[in-house]
Amino acid sequence: QVWRHAQRLNETSMWSFWGKNEAGGPALFGHVEGLRIAQRPRGFEVLPYTVARASYVAPSQPGSPFQDTRDYSVRAGADVKALLGSSLTLSATLNPDFGQVEVDPAVVNLSAFETFFEERRPFFVEGSGLFSFGGLSCFTCSNVSGMSLFYSRRIGRRPQGAVPGDPLYWDVPESTGILGAAKLTGRFRSGWEVGVLNAVTAPERVALVYGEGEPRLEREVEPLTNYLVGRVRRTMRGGDLIVGGMATSVARRFGYDSLARQIPEHAEAAGVDWTWSWAKRAYEMRGNFAVSQVSGEPAAIQRLQESSARYFQRPDRGHGSNGVFSDRYDPTLASLRGYGGYLRVAKQAGLWLWETQVNYRSPGFEVNDLAFLSRADYVWMHGNLRRRWTAPTPYYRYFQVTAGAQREQNFDGDVVDGQVHLSTYAQLPNYWETSLYMHARPEMSADRYTRGGPVVRRAPELYVSPSLSTDPRGAVVLSSNPWVNWNTDGSRSYRVNADLRLKPTSSVAVSLGPAFTHNESDAQFVRRWDDPSATHFMGQRAVFSRLEQNTLSLDTRLNVTFTPTLTLELFAQPFVSGGEYSAFREYDAPRSLRRTPYDAAQLRAVRDASGRDSVYLLDPDRDGTAEFSFRNPDFNLRSLRGNAVLRWEYRPGSTLFLVWQQNRSGGEPFGDFRLGRDAAGVFRPHPDNVFVLKATYWIGR
């Protein structure tokens, strides 16, 4: 497909062509015909590499025998690629190194859910579109995610096992070593696409010393693991029908029984997905359905039942049964099974568009061993109506309005999310773009606020987010999408940001992304305990507080192309976040919105044994004896992380990387946010510097 923007004529041309009110897409792309290849290329290449690494890192455990301020290492590996036949490609990597990959940005996550980071490693990024499954499409929606069966960052993740006991010194690997990985991808003449990926990761151990003069011990924190993914997909009827399937498997071999009680031994999932279009692609039905099973020691399965994805242990949760699928709390279970799916029917061409869809995950659905799943136990329903104006006028080139609603409930029938929303989008005559999105939510249930405790209520909410972007074709592009949020219980938050992209020359690109977020929450979770005396809250004691948090960051990128074979990529992110907790309180009753603060007789602050940190002692019944305690959760975090990658292709296919990574991070229990103090504090922590020299040499024919 070819697009051409002629700014002097104010015209956009395309080939192959489809109208503004048509659905378009790959099914209408052009085809190159008449090509004949006299001789098939042999198609075999090997890319060996060597890496020299020098680390200068401040010890996080002073006196530790496992940490040194200087560390030097050399390693080697190789990538292999072979053309099998005319349409199948085999790619393999042995002892891979991803030292040249950009670091992840800093975040502060106060929720019970994992943060999602994009895959950046070249071996897994290449051809990743074939391994995608499911997905979700909507004109306007929020707080929902599509089906996931494969998240490649699970391969080589940080070891999952807990450090046993309370050691004096310990050394946990930053990541799990990948012994090798291979994938087979291609497309047959019949139209079937196929993708198979297999990876093996090494067992990882933590080194431990429990006391001065005691011997060094080792314990396994990540077992030997095999990951397998298989994907098939076929396009039929000129692109109007696409059907596919995916299956995944994770198998682990444990060296210690204690680790087997933390991580499942096996995890499997399988699913089908489809997209069907008709009436010249004006209408579409897409969907997917998948089942999952994890098995292992009952203790490992119990951890999954109690995870934030489902909270089976919630005292007011239903205890029904659904055949072979798991939806009740049972600490003796040796396997967990579930299902999930998605279905969308939409009109996607013309001036009037509409869509309706449903997305669901059974309580026992679990795929986090090789995919990304934040929540199970929900049924989400959604609908939208959109009107478009595609004929340019003196006021806009394109304009649209979307209105709709969504609703979500858990398998107990509690409505845990719902909203009505309205959004507008316009492309102005000067090619600037602007939009406005807003939604309103009524009071509803919150089955995850107490993190395993009873269901409570969530206050009504109003959210507004405008956006504005200048002409994206210019040498200077500025955009911003701030938002503001209000709750009737006194919570409020807002975010202001900007994204400035500069391209002073054809070989230099600069991006600056400052952002400031202010959050005032009246119901921030702190801790939860079992407490038989808390009869008003079903034997649970859940502490909440008011939280005032401020976060400031500046994402900076610089890309310079000196020559077609010599480039420089730079990323840096100064980051500061401060959170102050106050007015600790608890809910008066399950399914209630009312919270009562603790008085001075119930909660008091003292210094811990070190004399540096404060600890809160909680005496709910005011009998003079504190039954519970928790550390002061106030925080003030500062970090500066980034990397610079100089890439030189010194001969075709052979590359030399020079990488510098730096990380400064530290924190204080200040709680409050002061721009001058915290901005200067970004540079105060000792820098951890890592230098990497990586050389690859292409051998092919």
What's the rounded Cα separation, in Å, for the pair 28 and 360? 32
Lowest mean pLDDT among 11-15, 53-57, 474-478, 584-588: 11-15
Check: CB of residue 443 under 8 Å from CB of residue 465.
no
Lowest mean pLDDT among 189-193, 426-430, 598-602, 637-641: 189-193
Q: What angle do CA 486, 490, 495 make, to 5 degrees?
A: 40
pTM recorded for the entire structure:
0.91
Does residue 609 carry a pLDDT above 70? Answer: no
Query: In DSSP terms, which residues pair with 647 in a beta bridge?
Result: 567, 657
Mean pLDDT estimate for the chain: 91
- The gap from C-alpha 584 to its chain's centroid, in whole angstroms, comes to 30
**For strand 352-361 and strand 378-389, is the pairing parallel, antiparallel, or unpaired?**
antiparallel
Q: Which H or E run contains 607?
A: strand 603-607
HSE of 301, CA atoms in CB hemisphere, 13 A: 23
Residue type, 279: A
Catalogue the long-range contacts made by 431-434 (C-beta closer than 8 Å, 24 or more residues apart).
Answer: 431/397, 431/471, 431/472, 431/473, 432/468, 432/469, 432/470, 432/471, 433/467, 433/468, 433/469, 433/472, 434/466, 434/467, 434/468, 434/469
User: Helix (H, G, I), strand (E, B), or coil: what is residue 469?
Assistant: strand
The pLDDT of residue 150 is 96
Residue type, 118: E
**Mean pLDDT score, 562-579:** 95
- pLDDT band (50, 70, 90) for residue 434: very high
| Among the listed residues 467, 466, 465, the one whose alpha carbon sits nearest the alpha carbon of residue 485 | 465
Lowest mean pLDDT among 94-98, 267-271, 348-352, 396-400: 94-98
The pLDDT of residue 511 is 96
Check: CB of residue 378 under 8 Å from CB of residue 409.
yes
Strands (E), 237-389: 241-253, 266-278, 283-295, 335-347, 352-361, 378-389
**Which residue has 């309205």 as its token pair?**
422
Does residue 537 carry a pLDDT above 60? Answer: yes
Between 4 and 26, the higher pLDDT residue: 4
- pLDDT band (50, 70, 90) for residue 246: very high
Omega before 545 within 30 of 0, i.e. cis? no
Query: In DSSP terms, which residues pair with 125 in a beta bridge?
Result: none
The pLDDT of residue 41 is 65
Give the percent of the chain with pLDDT over 90.
71
**Of all residues in the chain, what percent are helix, strand and coil, respectively (each to 5)?**
5, 55, 40
Backbone angles phi, psi at 401, to 5 degrees: -130, 135
Tens-digit pLDDT profile for residues 92-116 = 999 988 887 888 888 888 888 889 9
| Among the listed residues 485, 425, 384, 441, the one whose alpha carbon sits nearest the alpha carbon of residue 140 | 384
What's the rounded Cα separation, in Å, for the pair 99 and 78? 14
Which DSSP state fits 322?
B
The pLDDT of residue 321 is 58
- The gap from C-alpha 6 to its chain's centroid, in whole angstroms, comes to 38
What's the rounded Cα separation, in Å, for the pair 460 and 164? 44
The pLDDT of residue 610 is 63
Does residue 322 carry a pLDDT above 60? Answer: no
Lowest mean pLDDT among 65-74, 154-163, 320-329, 624-633: 320-329
User: Helix (H, G, I), strand (E, B), or coil: what is residue 57?
Assistant: coil
**173 Rama class: left (phi>0) / alpha (psi -120 to 50) / beta:** beta
- pLDDT band (50, 70, 90) for residue 669: confident
**437 Rama class: left (phi>0) / alpha (psi -120 to 50) / beta:** beta
Tens-digit pLDDT profile for residues 199-239 = 999 999 999 998 888 888 889 999 999 999 999 999 888 88
Q: Which H or E run contains 300?
A: helix 298-305
Check: CB of residue 231 under 8 Å from CB of residue 269.
no
The pLDDT of residue 25 is 79
Which DSSP state fits 536?
G
**Mean pLDDT score, 452-469:** 96
Q: Name the token pair of 289.
A: 């359905």
User: Helix (H, G, I), strand (E, B), or coil: what is residue 620?
Assistant: coil
| 133-to-35, 55, 159, 339, 355 alpha-carbon distances in Å | 32, 39, 26, 15, 21
Q: What angle do CA 668, 670, 674 make, to 5 degrees?
A: 105
Query: In DSSP terms, which residues pair with 172 in a beta bridge?
Result: none
Give the total residue count for the chain. Answer: 701
The pLDDT of residue 320 is 60
Lowest mean pLDDT among 70-84, 617-631, 671-685: 671-685
The pLDDT of residue 443 is 96
